[in-house]
Amino acid sequence: MMVRYSDDAILKGLYHKKSRYIEYFYKEYFPVIRSLVEKNSGTKSDVEDVFQDALLVLYKKCQNHDFKLTCSLKTYFYSISRNIWFQRLDRRWRLCYQSDPEVNEKFVSYGGETVDANESDLARQRLFQEHFFRLPADCQRILRLFFSKTPMSEIAESIHSSSVKYVKTRKYLCKNMLRKRILNDPACRPYIYQQGRQDNVSTGASIHVGGAKQPGLVKEITLK
């Protein structure tokens, strides 16, 4: 018999990063998101991305102690996912939306009031995650320990090395590897160019797009 959890229990489970609740959440809510995305010109891969991003937004919401649900968790999650998917479709210039009859649409709002999810930030974060999880296991370990403020001597012990210098070099190499991989990934381009645009505004420099020199603020650059 399948156990059913209340919305509060699920949120608590997500807050504590419990795998059991994440799996339950996947079983219960993934089909809804699949329906939303696939009905609106999305692929299987889009479904997984939207689900992952929406769940991350929900997780971050759970971290906020003032957060309170004003509708069912399903409707709220649907709202987050729809918001993300809308932004993504918007970015791809092929917006064509069909509502899902299973969800009470009057609680769903699009525009950022209910859900402050920036699709672009989420996509970047996912890109970083993908590259991070593809790093060698020891690299992941060193970077995790380093960024969780573990002393270098302890990191050296945990990787069975007596040299702190080795750990520093290794950490530098691992991070460098990760950065290079991200920069070489074509999916990274939109975020780089967006930021490049801001840098140009601040420095007054110019960048080349499609062979034409455009000074100062570049109107719109979308590579995808």
Partner 1 sequence: MKDATMKNDWIDRYNEDELSPEEKAVFEKMKNSSQVLRNEVMVDRYLNEFLSDQDTLEFCRKVKLTILKRRNGRSFSSFLLIAASLLFLITLSGILFLMGKRNPLPWTKEDSAMREVERERLSPSEDRLTDNKLFTGDRLPVAQSPVKSTPDESRSFALLPELESLIGHQPRSLDFALEKPGFRDRFRLGSQVLFSWSGTDSLQTVVLSLMDNEGNLLSEYRVEKTNSCVFKTETLRRGIYYWRITIGGELVSLGRMELY
> Total binding residues for partner 1 by CB under 8 A?
42
Per CB under 8 A, 195 contacts partner 1: yes
Rounded to whole angstroms, the Cα distance separating 164 from 136 reads 20
* Counts for the chain of helices (H) and strands (E), in that order: 9, 2
With contacts defined by CB under 8 A, name the span among 2-10, 64-72, 153-161, 191-199 that binds partner 1: 191-199
Least gap, CB of 195 to partner 1 (angstroms): 4
Rg (CA), the chain: 21
Contact in structure between 36 and 78 (CB atoms under 8 Å): yes
- For partner 1, the closer CB: 15 or 86: 15
Q: Could you count the other beta carbons within 10 Å of the beta carbon of residue 150? A: 14
Least gap, CB of 132 to partner 1 (angstroms): 7
Rounded to whole angstroms, the Cα distance separating 26 from 24 reads 5
Residues 6-65 touching partner 1, rule: CB under 8 A, are: 14, 17, 19, 22-23, 26, 30, 48, 51-52, 55-56, 59-60, 63
* Strand, coil or helix: 208: strand
Contact in structure between 9 and 62 (CB atoms under 8 Å): no
Least gap, CB of 9 to partner 1 (angstroms): 17
Would you give the DSSP letter of residue 149? T
Per CB under 8 A, 143 contacts partner 1: yes
- For partner 1, the closer CB: 9 or 183: 183
Contact in structure between 21 and 13 (CB atoms under 8 Å): yes
Residues making contact with partner 1 (CB under 8 A): 14, 17, 19, 22-23, 26, 30, 48, 51-52, 55-56, 59-60, 63, 124-125, 128-129, 132-133, 143-144, 146-148, 172, 175-176, 178-179, 182-183, 188, 191-192, 195-196, 199, 203, 205, 207
